[in-house]
Amino acid sequence: MTTWEGASPPTFSESVVSFVSTLENAKNIIVKCVLAIAGIFMAVLLTSVFMQVVFRYVLRRPLSWSEELARYTFVWISLLGAAAVIPKSLTQGIDLLVKQLPESVQMVVGVITRLLMAVFCAILAFKGYELTGIVHMQTSAAMSLPMSYVYFAVPVSAVLMIVILFLDSVITYRNASSQNL
């Protein structure tokens, strides 16, 4: 049995606020980690492009692998960036028609939109994983890197999108329900 030692137990609304705060922290940590990884890929991309320019125009000995590395890191940067901006993309858009609807219908439209996004991301993750398995034996031309390393960006980013979308949805609708209490 829990004792509160002179303090009263937390109320339901305090518990909800604490839960939402924990989820927001988790979402923010995930997004920051995704952006940090994308930043590392960006540094690799910029370094490889810079090296290519120096080797091609200064040393007159172009690198065979730098353009390929830049292209593949750009794929990862793009898809990781798409996962990181999911919460921001949900608050932006053309909502002229939706804003004309009653508030309860707006909430239903928001839930349907988020569910459709989650379904799309789940399909993308599943099909991306299948494609990754198919291209595993194929290697890149210059670096002889298994193409599955490049294609794996699709299911990874799709799963990250689902996780971030789920956390953002729970936060959004918990905040909305706790304000209505």
The residues spanned by each domain of the chain are 13-180
What is the model's pLDDT at position 44?
98
Query: pLDDT per residue over 122-176, tens digit each?
Result: 999 999 999 999 999 999 999 999 999 999 999 999 999 999 999 999 998 887 7
Query: Where would I find the beta strands (DSSP E) of the chain?
Result: none
**159 vs 132: CA distance, rounded Å:** 14
Exposed e or buried b per residue across 78-114, where buried means at least 16 C-beta atoms within 10 angstroms of its C-beta: ebbebbbbbbeebeeeeeeeeeeeeeeeeeeebeeeb
What is the model's pLDDT at position 35?
97
Query: pLDDT per residue over 51-105, tens digit each?
Result: 999 999 999 999 999 999 999 999 999 999 999 999 888 777 777 788 888 988 9
